[in-house]
């Protein structure tokens, strides 16, 4: 299934994408694509519905982030072998964990705002993992049973704020609009192997990132299990799992966003995002 949220900012409604690409309203079935609605039993109830029986959403509404009420927005750094090489850094012995503020979350086609004072706003296409069942001290063999599904994420990053200013990465990762999620959440039964998904990102028609989740250093099973040994994972938590090479910081010379850019990114089977870049 492809679950989504649509409507104005702050008033999104839950929906489902049917086999013909139409949005069907789910608000009569669930309050939101969040929390308990992401558990196996709830997803099975939705899966059993005839999409044609659900109200058809007319027109072309805005897509919101495909997950609502996100409790934790966790990210993994330097998690692709080819990206680490691009950055001139060694692969880490354990996953590098950081957080993005949940206030950075926005829709998959919303404008991306360059923060005031920024000169190094960058892009990162990433596989998103959405937790569907509480996870604490779980093994790698159990990990995917705790996943509701997958989505496309752009881990937008301000490199000066992240690297050149004192402190932790979070302040270079958390500006408003730095966390586009969606367009939809694809349930895990529709993704046979999360370690075999093509991914790309283009800015103004130039393809900068053209990779695959095959080159992940720590795969989804490892990441979910690993995190569960340091914090409880709850339904609706979102994990951004790292990016392949081609980020602006790694180019020679580096290239960063400027107002007027258009960025497009996507992951095989998980949908495409298109953003206009504007001054914040």
Instruction: Per residue of the chain (280 residues), give pLDDT as tens.
Output: 999 999 999 999 999 999 999 999 999 999 999 999 999 999 999 999 999 999 999 999 999 999 999 999 999 999 998 777 777 778 899 999 999 999 999 999 999 999 999 999 999 999 999 999 999 999 999 999 999 999 999 999 999 999 889 888 999 999 999 999 999 999 999 999 999 999 999 999 999 999 999 999 999 999 999 999 999 999 999 999 999 999 999 999 999 999 999 999 999 999 999 999 999 8
pTM of the model: 0.97
157 Cα distance to chain centroid: 13
Four-residue CA torsion sign, 215, 216, 219, 220:
negative
Which domains are seen in the chain, by residue range? 67-279 (3.90.850.10)
Is residue 169 within 8 A of residue 129, CB to CB? The reply is no
3-state secondary structure of 224: helix
Four-residue CA torsion sign, 17, 19, 22, 26:
negative
Q: Which of 62, 73, 70, 83 is nearest to 125 (CA)?
A: 83
Angle at 72 between CA 137 and CA 128, to 5 degrees: 85
Is residue 152 within 8 A of residue 267, CB to CB? The reply is yes
Q: Which of 42, 75, 55 is nearest to 6 (CA)?
A: 55
183 Cα distance to chain centroid: 9
Q: Which of 147, 152, 137 is nearest to 237 (CA)?
A: 147
Distances (CA, A) of 33 to 9, 38, 46, 179: 15, 7, 11, 17
| Encoded tokens for 1 | 């299934």
Query: How does DSSP classify residue 83?
Result: H
């Amino acid at each position: 299934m492809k679950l989504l949220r649509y409507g104005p900012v702050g008033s999104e409604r839950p929906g489902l994408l049917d086999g013909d690409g139409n949005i069907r309203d789910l608000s009569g079935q669930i309050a939101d694509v969040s929390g308990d609605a992401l558990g196996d039993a709830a997803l099975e109830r939705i899966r059993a519905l005839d999409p044609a029986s659900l109200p058809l959403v007319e027109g072309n509404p805005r897509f919101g982030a495909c997950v609502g009420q996100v409790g934790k927005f966790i990210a993994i750094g330097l998690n692709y072998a080819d990206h680490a090489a691009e950055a001139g850094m060694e692969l880490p012995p354990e996953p590098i964990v950081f957080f993005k503020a949940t206030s950075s979350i926005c829709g998959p086609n919303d404008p991306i705002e360059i923060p005031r004072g920024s000169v190094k706003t960058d892009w990162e296409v990433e596989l998103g993992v959405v937790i569907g069942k509480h996870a604490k001290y779980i093994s790698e063999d159990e990990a995917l049973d705790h996943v509701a599904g997958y989505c496309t994420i752009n881990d937008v990053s301000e490199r000066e704020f992240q690297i050149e200013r004192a402190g932790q990465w979070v302040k270079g990762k958390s500006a408003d609009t730095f966390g586009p999620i969606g367009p939809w959440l694809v349930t895990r039964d529709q993704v046979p192997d999360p370690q075999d998904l093509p991914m790309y990102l283009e800015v103004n028609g130039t393809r900068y990132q053209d990779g695959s989740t095959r080159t992940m250093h720590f795969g989804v099973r490892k990441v979910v299990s690993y995190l569960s040994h340091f914090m409880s994972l709850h339904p609706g938590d979102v994990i951004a799992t790292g990016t392949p090479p081609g980020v602006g910081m790694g180019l020679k010379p580096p290239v960063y966003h400027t107002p007027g850019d258009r960025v497009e990114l996507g992951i095989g089977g998980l949908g495409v995002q298109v953003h206009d870049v504007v001054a914040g």
